Structure 1
Amino acid sequence: MDKIMINEMPKHVGETVRIGCWLANKRSSGKIAFLQLRDGSGFVQGVVVKADVPEELFATAKSINQETSMYVTGTVVEDERSAFGYELQVSGIEVIGEAEDYPITPKEHGTEFLMDNRHFWLRSKKQHAIMKIRNEIIRATYEFFNDRGFVKIDPPILTGSAPEGTSELFHTKYFEEDAFLSQSGQLHLEAAAMALGRVFSFGPTFRAEKSKTRRHLIEFWMMEPEMAFTEHDESLEVQEQYVAHLVQSVLKNCKLELGVLGRDTSKLEKVQAPFPRITYDEAIEFLHEKGFDDIQWGDDFGAPHETAIAEHYDKPVFIVNYPTAIKPFYMQPHPDRDDVVLCADLIAPEGYGEIVGGSERIHDYELLKQRIEEHQLDPEAYAWYLELRKQGSVPHSGFGLGLERTVAWISGAEHVREAIPFPRLLNRLYP
């Protein structure tokens, strides 16, 4: 008898198999018990028919508590009524670990209660589906960049400077020195790109931003590619191809999970490159036409502004060439204007906001030195970064994709806190 995972059942139709699983839920009549079983790879219904099993086994099936762990033996059969397409006709149950008073029941629970019990909430069908979609996005990311000759680089998490030049950093002591938790791996990736050409990182980043919106986390994960000999427009092409690849990979490999979440996949099917592009100037004009008189040229966009722009399109949209004054020091100026830079934010549809931010980087030594001075940054902290421009500098570009915002958008999750296993929010460091 084979011990298999639930997701392997399609290969074992008609066979008697054994699975290690937990009881997610159950219901029963006088003669049949229906057990909702999960093992991490998926969910399947186990059917226990009183007339076909020993009396003791049927009594066990009716009495086991939610989240009790067990080995279940049974025959795999096809079931067209099930979203999974298969069920297990149970012939044996071996209890491993009993569960009592499991806190998350099939009834409705408040958000704070669910967050306090996040270590259990992850077991639920919808949270399981979101985590599977997150995993597929990560897998597809490695596939995309590896297929295009990028090299995975791991930048440091402890740094002595701030890539964005902001004060929203987590400070710590590094022996006798001051250090910060990284808010981006970009600067170190630029150095790696000068060595390896095309690189990318995937790791945690930290922003000490006191925001409570559904788009913000204190700790989140970023995909950050950096490309030598690459100008802004070339980078935009990589960005739209990458995002389209993620969406299409999820559509292909996570159909069951998208169904569990009730996601409208027709909207995702439209996400094909190329994406529309508008300038910051055009975005301001559009917002004024829509009655947003609060936004003026030189202001950064808030959630309502991004949502209004996104609703005008049926796929992600690039907003390019933001004002120099509201962007970080390292962005390359526009060749024909000194008031905007060569950058872009990619805004996701359906109100999920910015999911990608990128730019061409300044490669001229004197200009970058001037920008560092204008932003009143510590020249010693950025000395190594500046030195890159003196040793064979080249035009180069890069971007960062926020994993959790992307997961939330593709899965249709209401809040980014559901897009990461254990969210760190403004007032939450538990569990």
Structure 2
Amino acid sequence: MEQIQIIDSKNHVGETVKIGAWVANKRSSGKIAFLQLRDGTAYFQGVVVKSEVPEEVFQLAKGLNQETSVMITGEIREDTRSKFGYEIGITGIEVIGESNEYPITPKEHGTDFLMDHRHLWLRSSKQHAVMQVRNEIIRATYEFFNTNGFVKIDPPILTGSAPEGTTELFHTNYFDEEAYLSQSGQLYMEAAAMAFGKVFSFGPTFRAEKSKTRRHLIEFWMIEPEMAFMHQEDSLEVQEKYVAFLVQNVLDNCDHALDILERDKELLKKYTKLPFPRISYDDAVELLKKNGFDDIEWGDDFGSPHETFIANSFEQPVFILNYPKAIKPFYMKPHPTRDDVVICADMIAPEGYGEIIGGSERATDYEFLLEQIRQHGLDEKEYSWYLDLRKYGSVPHSGFGLGLERTVTWLSGIEHVRESIPFPRLLNRLYP
């Protein structure tokens, strides 16, 4: 008898199989017991009919507690009433591990309670679906960059300097030196691009920012491509193709997960249409001012309400181009005809999900960068290796960073970024 996973049920209709699973829920009458089973790949129903099994099997089924692990024996059959489409007619049950007084019951629980039990909350159908969307985004990311000639390079997590200033870094001792947890791998990816042409990284980053918004995490994952011999306009095309590719693959491969999340698939399909709209920072400020945002002035960074309004004006991901130089990092290329803005763009997701990509063309002039480093109060010695990149065959190059968790939150249609990562690190939360 073959042991299968629930997700493969469609290939075994009419066959008697074994499945290792957990009991997510159950209900029973005098003559039939229904078990909601999950095995990590999918959920489906197991049916135990009293007249078709020994009495001890039926009584065992009726007495199973939530999250008890079992080995089920039975016949796979079609079930047109369920979205999954299949169920198992159970003939045998072996209890593997008992579960008593499981804390997350089928009722409403507060957020703090669920976060304290995150190690168990991951088992619920909605959280499971979000992690499936996350996994698909990760899988599709590797496919996109691997098929487009990029080489994956892993930048260090421990660094001696900060790419975007020193105010939001986690400090640690590195033997007899000062070190920080990385807030971006970008500078190292620039070095890698000078060696390999097109590169990308995919790893954890850290921000010691005391933020409590629904868009912020302390620890999160970033995808950071960097491309030599590429100007900003070409980079924007890569960015929109990449995001549209992610959306399409989630639609193609996470159909059941999107159903569980009650995500509007027709809305997601709109986000695959290219090109994405673009608006300059200047015009974005004017758009906001004309629509009652009296709190915004040229030179300000946009907050969540501003980004949401701008994105909703286009109903698609939108690029905001060329922000003021004063609110962007030191490494961005200055605009050729203006001293007050740099060549950069943020991609803002629709539906109020905010910035998911930040990118720019990088400055290539050695003296300009040296002056920027000094003006930002950064240590020239710490950045000497970065300046070397402008001394030995510098070329135009551009890159960007996409936040994985914000993208998962957006495509899943969930409210808070804390549900987009298995074990979130938030302000005042380091457990579990």
TM-score by length of 2: 0.99
Deviation at residue 367 of structure 1 after TM alignment: 1.2
Deviations along 1:74-116, one digit per CA (max 9) or x if unpaired, are 1111111111111111111100000001000001100000000
Q: Which residue of 2 aligns with 1:189?
A: 189
Aligned-partner Cα distance in 1 for 2:405–2:29: 42
Q: Which residue of 2 aligns with 1:231?
A: 231
Aligned-partner Cα distance in 2 for 1:273–1:67: 45
Q: Which residue of 2 aligns with 1:91?
A: 91
Deviation at residue 376 of structure 1 after TM alignment: 1.4
Contact 1:267 1:314 (8 Å CA) reproduced? no
Q: Aligned residue pairs: how many?
A: 431
TM-score by length of 1: 0.99
Deviations along 1:329-362, one digit per CA (max 9) or x if unpaired, are 0000111111111100000000000000000001
Q: Which amino acid aligns with 2:217?
A: L
SS at match of 1:2: coil
Q: Which residue of 2 aligns with 1:11?
A: 11
Q: Which amino acid aligns with 1:392?
A: G
Could you tell me the percent identity over the aligned residues?
Answer: 72
Aligned ranges for residues 199-218 of structure 1 at < 5 Å? 199-218=199-218
Q: Which residue of 2 aligns with 1:130?
A: 130
Q: Which residue of 1 aligns with 2:297?
A: 296
Deviations along 1:114-161, one digit per CA (max 9) or x if unpaired, are 000000000000000000000000000000000001001110000011
- Relative to structure 2, which stretch is displaced further, 71-80 or 275-284? 71-80
Aligned-partner Cα distance in 2 for 1:47–1:192: 56
Q: Which residue of 2 aligns with 1:269?
A: 269
Q: Which amino acid aligns with 1:119?
A: H
Deviation at residue 380 of structure 1 after TM alignment: 0.6
Q: Which residue of 2 aligns with 1:280?
A: 281
Q: Which residue of 2 aligns with 1:139?
A: 139
Aligned-partner Cα distance in 1 for 2:257–2:225: 28
Q: Which residue of 2 aligns with 1:65?
A: 65
Q: Which amino acid aligns with 2:181?
A: L
SS at match of 1:60: helix
Aligned-partner Cα distance in 2 for 1:82–1:88: 12
Aligned-partner Cα distance in 2 for 1:81–1:261: 19
Q: Which residue of 2 aligns with 1:256?
A: 256
Q: Which amino acid aligns with 2:10?
A: P
Q: Which residue of 2 aligns with 1:421?
A: 422
Aligned-partner Cα distance in 2 for 1:90–1:234: 57
Contact 1:345 1:357 (8 Å CA) reproduced? yes
Q: Which amino acid aligns with 1:430?
A: Y
Gaps in structure 2 of 5+ consecutive residues: none
Aligned-partner Cα distance in 2 for 1:374–1:287: 31
Aligned ranges for residues 236-385 of structure 1 at < 5 Å? 236-271=236-271, 272-385=273-386
Q: Which amino acid aligns with 1:334?
A: H
SS at match of 2:390: helix
SS at match of 2:66: coil
2:35 matches 1:35: yes
Q: Which residue of 1 aligns with 2:390?
A: 389
Q: Which residue of 2 aligns with 1:118?
A: 118
Q: Which residue of 2 aligns with 1:150?
A: 150
Deviations along 1:230-252, one digit per CA (max 9) or x if unpaired, are 10000000000000000000000
Aligned-partner Cα distance in 1 for 2:208–2:181: 10
SS at match of 1:213: coil
Aligned-partner Cα distance in 2 for 1:209–1:430: 18
SS at match of 1:3: coil
Aligned-partner Cα distance in 1 for 2:29–2:335: 71
Deviation at residue 71 of structure 1 after TM alignment: 0.4
Q: Which amino acid aligns with 1:297?
A: W
Deviation at residue 166 of structure 1 after TM alignment: 3.6
Aligned-partner Cα distance in 2 for 1:81–1:201: 44
Deviations along 1:12-54, one digit per CA (max 9) or x if unpaired, are 1111111111000111111111100000011110011111111
Contact 1:248 1:269 (8 Å CA) reproduced? yes
Q: Which residue of 1 aligns with 2:54?
A: 54
Deviation at residue 364 of structure 1 after TM alignment: 1.3
SS at match of 2:45: strand
Q: Which amino acid aligns with 1:78?
A: E
Aligned-partner Cα distance in 2 for 1:83–1:381: 57
Aligned-partner Cα distance in 1 for 2:320–2:160: 31
CA-based RMSD: 0.6
